[in-house]
A and B are shown apart, each in its own frame.
Chain A
């Protein structure tokens, strides 16, 4: 079963634009929501993460917005750059689990055009 649904599957944005990727989850026990970034030929790397006690977290040009009641969270990339072109995965896990087992979304391939 797919517990984290991610959209869109692919996204093309002009340089300087805003990239927005959305995720929805089903399990209300989830309490940790990271985003991973993957470049071709590399494994995914942690980009930014949020817990449900805050509605927004910002790190540089990357912002996570979180809506607990709607069970949705999104990644915003401001002033998108060609170097941001990559595949992005959202994920979720239960903090009470000491394994930190992550459930990933389907991934979004972002292309930023110069």
Chain B
């Protein structure tokens, strides 16, 4: 089974800090995604990447950036954390989202104080 591993289960950061959320997948998937999950809003796409060094903005990219230097690793960066970025962050990967669906990590619960 494909595994998507998110480095931290819980994080508490201060306003203004630069925050790195790490995600690693072990099945050579081309596509990787970062979503945030908020009650009543579902999963909203922040950024995605369909190849190493390639990235595209999702629906809510403001305040975030990403890095994908290696195929298996996709990092989400909060340039200057704010309290409205307190959320559950989910990383996913897919070989081909149409035929194989997404495999999600267990999520990182980020609290910005």
Interface contact B31-A9, CB-CB below 8 Å: no
Total B residues in contact with A, Cβ cutoff 8 Å: 29
Within B6-43, which residues are at the interface with A (CB < 8 Å)?
31, 33, 35, 37, 39-43
Number of residue pairs A-B, CB distance < 8 angstroms: 65
- The 8 Å CB contact of B42, one of A6, A34, A49, A95, is A6
Asked if B96 is an interface residue, CB under 8 A from chain A, the answer is yes
Interface contact B31-A99, CB-CB below 8 Å: yes
Interface contact B48-A106, CB-CB below 8 Å: no
Main secondary structure of the interface of B (DSSP, over half): strand
- The 8 Å CB contact of A9, one of B37, B40, B45, B98, is B40
Q: A43-B105, A43-B106, A101-B48 are in contact. Are A106 and B97 (CB under 8 A)?
A: no
What is the bound-complex CA distance between A100 and B42, given in angstroms? Answer: 18
Interface contact B98-A95, CB-CB below 8 Å: yes
Point out the residues of chain B lying under 8 angstroms from A107, CB to CB. 37, 39-40, 42-43
Q: A104-B43, A106-B41 are in contact. Are A99 and B102 (CB under 8 A)?
A: no
Q: A43-B92, A43-B107 are in contact. Are A100 and B98 (CB under 8 A)?
A: yes
A-B contact pairs, 10 of them (CB 8 A): A42-B106, A43-B104, A44-B90, A93-B97, A98-B50, A98-B96, A99-B50, A100-B96, A101-B97, A107-B43
With A44-B43, A45-B104, A93-B98 given, can you name 10 additional A-B contacts, CB distance below 8 Å?
A9-B40, A32-B98, A42-B107, A46-B102, A100-B102, A101-B45, A102-B102, A104-B43, A105-B42, A107-B39
